[in-house]
Amino acid sequence: MPNLNVEPGGKIMLPDELRQRYGFREQTSIRVVETRNGVLLIPLTDAPMSPELAREAEEWQSLAASSWEMFEDKPGI
């Protein structure tokens, strides 16, 4: 993955491969989610999620759920 630069006005040019994989088209609305280590860009489209991306999202959700379970039984956390 190449490094990207923030252009004047805050614009970031995503490589074609990423735009195609995640469904970023011109004028696509995007949700920005702040994480502890950076930001996550989520395209808000009506297009169905690709099977590959659905598996990846399921893995992330599973990790989040298992991480939460570590704290459920800890009083005061």
8 occurs within a structural domain: no
pTM, two decimals, is: 0.55
2's tokens: 């190449």
Q: How many domains does the chain have?
A: 1
Domain that holds residue 30: 16-72
Give burial (CB, 10 Å; 0-12/13-18/19+) of 73: exposed
- Which own/partner pairs from 41-48 qualify as long-range (CB within 8 Å, at least 24 positions apart)? 47/23
1 occurs within a structural domain: no
> How many residues are listed for the chain in this entry?
77
Which residues, in sequence order, are CB contacts of 1 under 8 Å at separation 6+? 15
39 occurs within a structural domain: yes
* Model pLDDT for residues 10-51, shown as the tens digit of each residue: 999 999 998 888 888 889 898 888 877 788 888 888 877 778
* Model pLDDT for residues 53-66, shown as the tens digit of each residue: 778 777 877 776 66
